[in-house]
Copies of this chain bind each other. A is one copy, B any other.
Amino acid sequence: MEMFVALVIFFQFLCSLSAIQGRTINSRKSGVSEKKVADVSDFFAKLIQRVSPKSYQQALGEVYVTQKFLENFCGDQVRFLARSFAVPGNHLGQQSHGFRWPYGPVTIITPFNFPLEIPLLQLMGALYMGNKPLLKVDSKVCVVMEQMLRLLHECGLPLEDVDFINSDGPTMNKILLEAKPRMTLFTGSSRVAEKLAVDLKGRVKLEDAGFDWKILGPDVHEEDYVAWVCDQDAYACSGQKCSAQSLLFMHENWSKSSLIDKLTGLAARRKLDDLTIGPVLTVTTEAMLGHMNKLLEIKGSKLLFGGEALQNHNIPAVYGAIKPTAVFIPLEEILNENNYELVTKEIFGPFQIVTEYKHNQLSLVLNVLERMHAHLTAAVVSNDPLFLQDVIGNSVNGTTYVGLRARTTGAPQNHWFGPAGDPRGAGIGTPEAIRLVWSCHREVIYDIGPLPQKWRTPQPT
């Protein structure tokens, strides 16, 4: 444990001050080292940008969440994480203890879109609980964790505590089948997740993609704010977050507002220069526009904005590059079983569906949600408590934001992030997530006696 503490402290020493600079600490206070810290933060943010197409602010945000996570497990917090409980037994000398116990040899497989945050948080969680992890990061972006591991080693992480592998997927799959890790954490596409679940006979925790939705409730206020959050949720990182907003339900009161105009204006601000819109790594331009065209064949559908390839760039054709795009589909058509699968197909890029519901159509909206099979993030933008109660009580998404300021993306380290409704679902970051993913329950019952006086051997049963 001391090792982790040391690492945390050293990393903090390097990263903390600059990241929160301008917030509470006056810059003059920390002298020489603050420069160093800012350098390290900046180094990792730019390193992330070299391999994952996102703006500097988004990359820095990833470094910031990582840093805050490490701070959360300073001091005695790793031992507090391993807190057990005990309950009196049936007679003097008996007591049962419930422990969180490590699995032992475990594997971590993480994707391209968060090259630092996802692998580091899961790796440290595995270590905190006492496991021996083998880590594989998507090969396009693994340089980031490779650099972080060097920092960890510099801070005192014993070389033998973590195994790090660079490989393609099939090779990794073969390793898993032979090594038989006790537990494998996989973050990535649903397709690979399902394959791994079968290959590893269910010894997995999964955080796969979601088709995340947002509902705007009947109470319309703060249109500028809500529009801005929608723009960020749908198009930040070019929509390449598993929490990105894919489907927006507007109450008819919002349709009458200037929301769509505002969304159109906000989307138009995004530009390739600063990567506020950029390459899509897993879907080509053709595939995205083709999907759009199929959607536009649905009765009543229309293109709200976007729908064109980006121009004047040298993004290779194996990647996608389109403008932030929104397609309107009538609610009834989404529910039409000929369309449902098409409409709710996840496009891991800057692409969303928009629809509208009348005041008496909430049950149809809930029906759309009920039929989805992945349940990651969701948002209900309303301050009407009865409306919120209705939607929350009828949905199951793991990370659900509600209230005027609800969003689907941007989860920090201080609350659970992960899907719900699936026993294989993984969480990330919080004490609860670490305990769930990286440890199992073990019960040790102490029964030391003394024996009752005059105990005699009973009859067999």
Q: Which residues of A contact B (CB under 8 A)?
A: 1-3, 5-6, 9-10, 12-13, 16-17, 20, 23-26, 29-33, 36, 55, 57-58, 61, 68-77, 79-80, 82-90, 92-94, 96-98, 101, 103-104, 154-156, 182-183, 194, 197-198, 200-205, 222, 224-225, 227-228, 231-232, 235-236, 266, 269-270, 276, 383, 385-386, 389, 392, 396-407, 412-418, 420-425, 427, 431-433, 436, 440-451, 455, 457-461
26 example contacts (A-B, Cβ-Cβ < 8 A) are as follows A2-B24, A5-B24, A5-B71, A10-B29, A10-B30, A13-B13, A13-B16, A90-B412, A92-B389, A94-B403, A94-B405, A96-B416, A104-B421, A198-B201, A201-B202, A202-B203, A205-B423, A266-B457, A270-B460, A276-B461, A385-B403, A386-B450, A400-B443, A403-B446, A415-B443, A422-B440
Q: Contact at A75–B68, with CB atoms within 8 Å?
A: yes
- Bound-state CA distance A399–B127 (Å) is 24
Q: Which residues of B lie under 8 Å from residue A266 when comparing CB positions?
A: 457, 460
Instruction: Kindly list 13 other residue pairs between chains A and B, CB separation below 8 angstroms, not including A101-B421, A398-B440.
Output: A9-B16, A74-B75, A83-B87, A96-B415, A202-B203, A224-B457, A270-B460, A386-B448, A402-B445, A402-B447, A404-B451, A418-B441, A436-B441
Which residue of the partner chain, among B12, B203, B406, B455, contacts A9 with CB atoms under 8 Å?
B12
Is A423 a contact of B86 with CB atoms below 8 Å?
no
Contact B77 A72 (CB under 8 A): yes
Taking the nearest CB of chain B, how far is it from the CB of A374, in angstroms? 12
State the Cβ distance, A56 to closest chain B Cβ, in Å. 8
CB neighbours of A96 from chain B (8 A): 414-416
| Docked-complex contact A103 and B415, CB < 8 angstroms | no
C-alpha spacing A154/B28, complex, angstroms:
10
Query: Which residues on B sit within 8 Å (CB–CB) of A424?
Result: 201-203
Known: A205-B423, A460-B235, A461-B58. A405 touches B87 (CB 8 A): no
Please, how many angstroms separate the alpha-carbon atoms of A326 and B383 in the complex?
35
- Complex contacts, A431 vs chain B, CB 8 Å: 80
Contact A183/B423 with A6-B20, A13-B30 known, Cβ cut-off 8 Å:
yes
Cβ-closest chain B residue relative to A101: B420
Given the known inter-chain contacts A93-B403, A443-B415, please indicate yes or no for A33 contacting B6, CB distance below 8 A.
no
By Cβ-Cβ distance, the 8 closest A-B pairs, closest first, are: A202-B202, A71-B75, A72-B75, A403-B448, A96-B415, A197-B202, A405-B447, A57-B461
- A75/B79 in contact, CB under 8 A: no
The chain B residue with its CB closest to the CB of A157 is: B24
Contact of A451 among B197, B225, B276 (CB under 8 A): B225
Q: Is the pair A88, B79 in contact by a Cβ cutoff of 8 Å? A: yes
Choose among B24, B182, B404 the residue that contacts A449 (Cβ–Cβ < 8 A).
B404
Measured CA separation A201–B13 after assembly (Å): 44
Assess the A74–B71 pair: CB atoms within 8 A. Answer: yes
Bound together, the chains give a CA A3 to CA B72 distance in angstroms of 15
Give the contacting residue for A386; candidates B383, B407, B414, B441; CB below 8 A.
B383
Name which of A194, A407, A447 has the most chain B CB atoms within 10 A of its CB. A447
Chain B nearest CB from A412 CB (Å) reads: 7
A434 to B422, CA, bound (A): 15
Known: A400-B444, A432-B441, A451-B405. A203 touches B420 (CB 8 A): no
